[in-house]
Amino acid sequence: MTRGDRRARLIVVGNGMAGARVVEEVLQRDGEQFEITMFGDEPHGNYNRISLSNVLAGSEDPRDIFLNPLDWYVENGVTLHTGRRVVAIDRFARTLRTDDGGVHGYEQLVLATGSRPWIPPVDDVYVGDPEHGKLKPGVFGFRTLGDCDEMLAWAEQASHVAVVGGGLLGLEAARGLLERGMKATLVHRSDRLMNVQLDHEAAATLQAAVEALGIDVLLDTSTSAVLGEDRVEGLAFADGSQLACDTVVFSTGIRPNVELAARGGMTVERGIVVDDAMRVLDEDHVWAVGECCQHRGELYGLVAPVWEQATVLADRITGAKPTAEYHGSKLATKLKVSGVELATMGLSEPEPAHDEVVRFSEPSRGVYKTAIVRDGKLVGATLLGDMGKVSFLMQAFDRGTVLPDERVALLFDLGGPSTEDSIAELPDDAQVCNCNGVTKGDIRSCVAGGEKTLRGVMGKTRAGSGCGSCKSQVVEIVESAAGGALEADPAADLYLPCIPMPKPELMAAVREHGLRSVSAVFETLADGTQDAKAKPALASLLRLVWGTEYEDERDARFINDRVHANIQKDGTFSVVPRVSGGVTSAHQLRRIADVVDKYEIPMVKITGGQRIDLLGVPKEQLPAVWKDLDMPSGYAYGKSFRTVKTCVGSDYCRFGLGDSTRLGITLEERFKGLESPAKLKLGVAGCPRNCSEAMVKDVGFVAVEGARWEMYVGGAAGAHVRKGDLLCTLDTEEEAMLVAGRFMQYYRQNAKWLERTYTFMERVGVDEVRAVVVENRDGDVDQLDTAMQTSIDAYSDPWLEAQAPATPNQFHTVVTS
């Protein structure tokens, strides 16, 4: 068999961060000389594994952590086989075999097989035959996007997680699941958290900070068995005690994937043994990189060493630098647990004979800092609770630079320049992004080369795209390098990816061309290309522009808005009638109870928005349920104004300063069902005790002394937690209604699709919003009032469609001819 392509064949086994990084580095150095093929176990492109903790915690979208989307492989002529395993290597014939029987020849082979979580020998971790162990339902490792997905799906019906292993990843997993509303207990064998990186005092300070977040910590506790017959019910410990829980995450370290190399006859100890060239010992054509390899006796589980290895490997394999050598890495790491700041580097304990130690401890504030100096150089440091000096220390640790004579200056700025200034004063060769090895100079020259947007600079240099902890420094350097010429990222303001216009521009184009339906917008502004996912966004925008003149095409609506109910995981729907301000009556409750009985509704739930949710209603029954309820829709399914949560207010409460229920009901009656870029949840509190949580609502009012109302906007207490910005204080309920309407209209006109007010306020800024909405700086309030009134006038209760369906078979999933 002959090949058309005469280039040397480079095969990379493993499509994780290490494998993909090698290919990237090779491509940068005359990659044309190779025909490149990659094999990956996981069914996606390459993603940033460091960000999995953020995905678990919900602070990052899984889609945003991809480093190399599949397009990248195509664009660079790299053949990627996903989900296909390499099962054997014949290093003499220079071929490898895949699990489907395919045989692939190579001239150069790179093993980047990574590692897998190691689960300690604990009883009853597996169900069925322990040889072919399947983890007991509820037991997880924490390693891949798949693990993350499964954990999150499981977490929906679970309430208490025990994380076994008190290292970096264990802490991040516990925090992530805590964010998802679970109770979290951290179980650790050692006598202190992060015992590899921290000394006793630092660990104690960290433990206090972690416990303050709400995570229970069990130290000196060795897990002996997982309890529960066919799913997790708890853990048993070596001392005989037990812990009840329904989820277990093992974060007890990793083991390199070396089996393939070992079967192929390569030298394997703990990892695949490589020399300083990153070549597998005694092999001319096989290389290894990343967590699967062992270099000078060391295994590395952090990202910075992997990058350094990939660089050397690429230098060698392409011949760009035939003498390049890897000499090992210095280890520094940061914990990504929101609410706890921790950076460690190098040694945690000094060797008493020669080392100088500078230590500062203030446990009541959760601050602990230490620096270890040997022969005038920094060999270790820990910063907990105060990251003021982190860039300076990282720099000193990495480069071995000269330290200040006054050692205390290692830990504090002594009346000197503030942290911000110290970033400006960093030398150009100072490394800013430790994950990707990007220096301040790299960032500055990228800006000088014409890249004027933050996203562009981050894309080109990769600064800030690892763990993300240096992002604020990157922003600062880019801003100063651009000298104020930093351009806003155009994509950041687009309403939709398929039509390249910011929202105000898109609204103007829609008006100008008289586009009243979603299909007309696609026809005129997107060359006739319909984007299914963009339909609901456009429908929302058109309704905002045209009000009653909008030509409603039902197919542009998400299923929830087609049938005015919220689809559930089993395809049934939930029904939430409007109960304005959460005030109901015996009559309403009786009717709801009758409906529940009549339709045998399986679950009735009081919602967080003070309403009653009827769950498990088949689509076919929705019209009948609505008719019998004889209540209007609560819009609990739409991107719209949802509900106003209120406290008891002044009628009965002995602390009430304002009539919160009345204002809540008036707000809900006026703005009910209002179309919006994302859902709007409001709250009104009758006094600053804030029982209805008004400060963490999209719009919230809090009554204060003197019968006045404080208005908060952009609050959140869901996936994100943010206290709302105090927009203004208003004298009367009428004013409160007016400004609420103006704010919501301004938000409707300027927010991106699905952009909640908390993101919107961060993006626009409270000063700007106040200037427009409260101070009427631009003379816009009349337009806002008029537009809002038009939308309010267009309201009709969608549940009236029970009488007259809007489309054929509107409430039928299955149609029989």
Partner 1 sequence: MSTPSDVERTVGHISAIPVDEGRMLRVDGHLVAVFHLRGGGGGVRATQPWCPHRGGPLADGLVGDATLVCPLHGRTFALDGGEAGPDEVGIRTYPARVDDDGAILLTLPADGPLPACSDDVPATAPPGPQAGTAPFAEDISQAPDPGSSPR
Interface positions with partner 1 (CB under 8 A): 43-45, 69-70, 82-83, 519, 522, 528-536, 553-555, 558-559, 562, 567-572, 600, 602, 616, 618-621, 623, 805, 807-817
Taking the least distance from each CB to partner 1, the nearer of 598 and 777 is 598
CB of 720: closest distance to partner 1 in angstroms?
20
CB of 12: closest distance to partner 1 in angstroms?
17
**What SS3 state is found at 608?**
coil
Q: Which residue has the tokens 């103007």?
A: 508
Angle at 587 between CA 585 and CA 592, to 5 degrees: 95
CB of 465: closest distance to partner 1 in angstroms?
20
What's the burial of 233, exposed, middle or buried (CB within 10 Å: 0-12/13-18/19+)?
middle
Q: What is the DSSP string of 109-165?
A: EEE---EEE-----BT-EES-GGG-EEPTTEEE--SHHHHHHHHHHHTT--EEEEE-
Taking the least distance from each CB to partner 1, the nearer of 43 and 101 is 43
CB of 223: closest distance to partner 1 in angstroms?
29
Instruction: Label residues 602-611 b or e (16+ Cβ within 10 Å = b).
Output: eeeeebebbb
CB of 640: closest distance to partner 1 in angstroms?
18
CB of 812: closest distance to partner 1 in angstroms?
6
Measured between alpha carbons, how far is residue 116 from residues 39, 110, 113 in Å? 17, 18, 9
Instruction: Label residues 767-798 b or e (16+ Cβ within 10 Å = b).
Output: eebbebbbeeeeebbeebeebbeebeebbebb
CB of 232: closest distance to partner 1 in angstroms?
18
What's the burial of 3, exposed, middle or buried (CB within 10 Å: 0-12/13-18/19+)?
exposed
Taking the least distance from each CB to partner 1, the nearer of 81 and 377 is 81
CB of 149: closest distance to partner 1 in angstroms?
10
Taking the least distance from each CB to partner 1, the nearer of 114 and 256 is 114
Closest CA to 51 of 163, 172, 178: 172
Taking the least distance from each CB to partner 1, the nearer of 100 and 600 is 600
Taking the least distance from each CB to partner 1, the nearer of 120 and 618 is 618
Q: Are the C-beta atoms of residues 669 and 677 closer than 8 Å to each other?
A: no
CB of 41: closest distance to partner 1 in angstroms?
11
Taking the C-alpha atoms of residue 34 and residue 298, their distance in angstroms, rounded to an integer, is: 30
CB of 572: closest distance to partner 1 in angstroms?
5
Taking the least distance from each CB to partner 1, the nearer of 568 and 732 is 568
Taking the least distance from each CB to partner 1, the nearer of 415 and 528 is 528
CB of 537: closest distance to partner 1 in angstroms?
11
Return the bridge partners of 474, or none. none
Measured between alpha carbons, how far is residue 351 from residues 218, 344, 373, 397, 402 in Å? 29, 17, 10, 17, 21
**What SS3 state is found at 336?**
strand
Taking the least distance from each CB to partner 1, the nearer of 46 and 434 is 46
Taking the least distance from each CB to partner 1, the nearer of 13 and 684 is 13
Taking the least distance from each CB to partner 1, the nearer of 4 and 528 is 528
**Cβ neighbours around 97 below 10 Å, total:** 15
Return the bridge partners of 105, or none. 95
Taking the C-alpha atoms of residue 637 and residue 566, their distance in angstroms, rounded to an integer, is: 5
> How many CA atoms lie within 13 Å of 573's alpha carbon, on the beta-carbon side?
26
